[in-house]
Amino acid sequence: MNEKKKTNYVIIIISVLLFAILVFGVLYFIIHPETVSTISNNNQNEILNSMSSEEEVDIFENIELVSASLEKYTVYGTHLNFNISVNNSDDLDNIYDAKIILKNMQGDETNYDADYIVENDKILFSTSDKINTGIDLESINQDEYYILLKVITNKVSYGENGDKKETKKEHYYNIENNTEYKDIEYYTITRKKKNNKIDIKENKIKNRDVNTLCMNVKESKLPANVYDIVIDAGHGGEDCGASANGYTESELTLDYAFKLKEKFDKLGLKVKLTRNENETRMDTYGEDGRYVIANSVKAKFQLSVHLNSGDSDLTGVEVYCPNSSNLKFAENLANNLVLNCNTSYSQNNTWKENDGVYVRNFNDAAFEEVLEYARELGFEPYNVSYNTAYYGVIRESGGIMTGAYIDGRDPTYENNPYYNSNMGVETYLLELGYITNLSNIENIIANEESYTDVIVETTKDYLNLK
């Protein structure tokens, strides 16, 4: 091989190598397009950072912050609620309006209405007196926020000539968490395969020497052990529930639960069933207990499906709601079932709030039962009140909002690890109809498609799952 040929070979080899590197590079970016966008995003972020550090604005400029004390702090279903107390002062005479504010780092504010009552030297502000309304966590945009209380006063005075003069003033309060509950971690319900993770905790305000509650909302994959909703097929196995007319409650509720799961799955929701088969034994409490599952998978919503029993002429729908709640979901569900499923509102008038809508709390007889039971077993009776939800599935999955109380003092079963939780699952118990009424139960079986369609559509509307 002469020198010239050698040089030609070297040139060819180098060309082939360069070509291969080029082809490899192009292929790599085709396979990993995110590498390209990450690079440009990083550049963008650097540019944004340098801009913001040059033009950094103090979003609290000219704002005087006074400390307020967080007294109650709960999430029930999809709604966050606060009770906040402020020292009363002459400055707060003539309150005109009060808001809970989410203030982002650019200073933009999102407002939520707050009510207030004056109690001697304190004023107590609250977002809602219903456990399932208040601040809707599902609708908050991804961002970082300071949470503050804003009170607007309006002093009216009259000039010498009788002219009315109004002076409005904004008072801002940072919120210090004095409750036993600290950080909240919440996942929004799956919409278009996406979820947000919301973290709420107390933090220092930048450039100020005070703390306030802060909220961080960012997109996040749903962890494997977190679910959107839970369907509880009433009873199971040896506990077959009611049976009449040749039908068994536990078998029919399981059938309904499967059908509901199938339809909620199609909406893209992550659905957990409390039971998958007609098991002979199912724990009520303890980490996998029927009344505990919904809380342990951080579900937002739960429906417990049952069939009623009674005199053979009794028929129709009953939806049982959590105590102290807005009854909108139950009203819509009862109305839609009656309109579309060839059924009626139940004739039962006990615990009735509205057609087909019921709230069952402890009454004198139920109190006596709790006391008697505890006396027999020799433990300190549970501290129930007239605002304690009667049905275990509603009460125990709702934490402190619904009066959960299974704390382990009863030696015959395990405790509910979430009995003292400030996060609860919004739960409804649906009595589809009466198994003891032949035409009612036959309709429930024949019309399963329309019943389940109505349940899914009503839930979809209520949870704003477009």
Q: How far is the CB of 115 from Zn ion (least distance, A)?
A: 38
Residue at shortest CB range from Zn ion: 306
Q: How far is the CB of 314 from Zn ion (least distance, A)?
A: 14
Element (H, E) at 174: strand 164-177
Q: How far is the CB of 325 from Zn ion (least distance, A)?
A: 21
The interface region with Zn ion, picked from 8-16, 64-72, 301-309, 377-385 by CB under 5 A, is 301-309
Q: How far apart are CA 142 and CA 12, in angstroms?
A: 55
Residue 161, CA distances (Å) to 136, 158, 164 in order: 48, 8, 9
| Interface with Zn ion in residues 267-296 (CB under 5 A) | none
| Interface with Zn ion in residues 63-82 (CB under 5 A) | none
The 146-175 site mask, x for binding Zn ion (CB under 5 A), equals: ------------------------------
Q: How far apart are CA 270 and CA 465, in angstroms?
A: 13
Q: How far is the CB of 253 from Zn ion (least distance, A)?
A: 7
Which is closer to Zn ion, CB of 234 or CB of 399?
Answer: 234
Q: How far apart are CA 424 and CA 81, in angstroms?
A: 12
Q: How far apart are the first and last CA of the chain?
A: 75
The interface region with Zn ion, picked from 82-90, 132-140, 208-216, 300-308 by CB under 5 A, is 300-308
Which is closer to Zn ion, CB of 410 or CB of 431?
Answer: 431
**Which tokens sit at 455?**
């349940």
Which is closer to Zn ion, CB of 47 or CB of 240?
Answer: 240
Q: How far apart are CA 135 and CA 271, in angstroms?
A: 24
Q: How far is the CB of 265 from Zn ion (least distance, A)?
A: 24
Which is closer to Zn ion, CB of 119 or CB of 277?
Answer: 277
The interface region with Zn ion, picked from 85-93, 121-129, 303-311, 339-347 by CB under 5 A, is 303-311
Which is closer to Zn ion, CB of 216 or CB of 243?
Answer: 243
Which is closer to Zn ion, CB of 134 or CB of 236?
Answer: 236
Which is closer to Zn ion, CB of 234 or CB of 236?
Answer: 234
| Interface with Zn ion in residues 305-334 (CB under 5 A) | 306
Question: Is 336 exposed, middle or buried, given 0-12, 13-18 or 19+ CB atoms closer than 10 A?
Answer: buried
Q: How far apart are CA 168 and CA 150, in angstroms?
A: 13
Q: How far is the CB of 251 from Zn ion (least distance, A)?
A: 12
Q: How far is the CB of 431 from Zn ion (least distance, A)?
A: 7
The helix, strand and coil proportions of the chain, stated in percent and rounded to the nearest 5, come to 30, 30, 40
Q: How far apart are CA 172 and CA 23, in angstroms?
A: 61
Which is closer to Zn ion, CB of 99 or CB of 306?
Answer: 306
Q: How far is the CB of 327 from Zn ion (least distance, A)?
A: 21
Q: Alpha helices, DSSP H only, in 231-307?
A: 249-266, 293-296
Query: Helix 448-462 to helix 328-340 angle, to the nearest 10 degrees?
Result: 150
C-beta of residue 415 within 8 angstroms of C-beta of residue 283: no
C-beta of residue 356 within 8 angstroms of C-beta of residue 338: yes
C-beta of residue 216 within 8 angstroms of C-beta of residue 295: no
**Size of the residue set binding Zn ion (CB under 5 A):** 3
The β-bridge relationship of strands 423-424 and 352-354 is unpaired
The 193-232 site mask, x for binding Zn ion (CB under 5 A), equals: ----------------------------------------
Which is closer to Zn ion, CB of 234 or CB of 356?
Answer: 234
Q: How far is the CB of 292 from Zn ion (least distance, A)?
A: 19
Which is closer to Zn ion, CB of 306 or CB of 395?
Answer: 306
Q: How far is the CB of 257 from Zn ion (least distance, A)?
A: 13
Quick check: 433 binds Zn ion (CB under 5 A)? Answer: no
Q: How far apart are CA 415 and CA 407, in angstroms?
A: 5
**Which tokens sit at 335?**
């109305």
Element (H, E) at 43: helix 33-54
| Interface with Zn ion in residues 229-258 (CB under 5 A) | 234, 241
Q: How far apart are CA 153 and CA 137, in angstroms?
A: 28
The 176-195 site mask, x for binding Zn ion (CB under 5 A), equals: --------------------
The footprint of Zn ion (CB under 5 A) covers: 234, 241, 306
